Amino acid sequence: RGVARSEPVECLTGKEMDAYTQVDQTPDDEAEIQKLTASFEKFAQGCEKRSGEILPYVSTVDTARDMDVLRALLGDEKLQYVGASYGTFLGATYADLFPE
């Protein structure tokens, strides 16, 4: 959901994304904190503007549920899964939702 060949979540134009990635992510003073906060707000507003209709359906929980649907369609009793980085969080979410 929201990646690859599915409808992607789009939040910023290329130029806006370039500006977003240039904002200091480790602010040292109030001015930098305000600039970082403003960049987060602009990012969120862009997501709502460009992808608002799919945002309620694009979450880790939704992805974990999709994984269980695929597991069932394959006829597997248990999911066999190896995840790295975000995949570890996704795997933990799946295990929380489907402990059996």
pLDDT tens digit sequence for 70-94:
999 999 999 999 999 999 999 999 9
**Residue 2 located in a structural domain:** no
Structural domain of 22: 14-54
Give the global pTM.
0.69
Q: What is the pLDDT of residues 20-72, one digit of tens each?
A: 999 999 999 999 999 999 999 999 999 999 998 999 999 999 999 999 999 99
pLDDT class of 8 with cuts at 50, 70, 90: confident
Domain count within the chain: 2
**Residue 77 located in a structural domain:** yes
38 shares its domain with 22: yes
Question: At 10, which amino acid appears?
Answer: E
**Residue 81 located in a structural domain:** yes
d(CA 64, CA 90): 7
Q: Which two tokens stand for residue 82?
A: 């190896």
Q: What is the pLDDT of residue 36?
A: 97
Exposed e or buried b per residue across 22-36, where buried means at least 16 C-beta atoms within 10 angstroms of its C-beta: ebeeeeeeeeeeeee
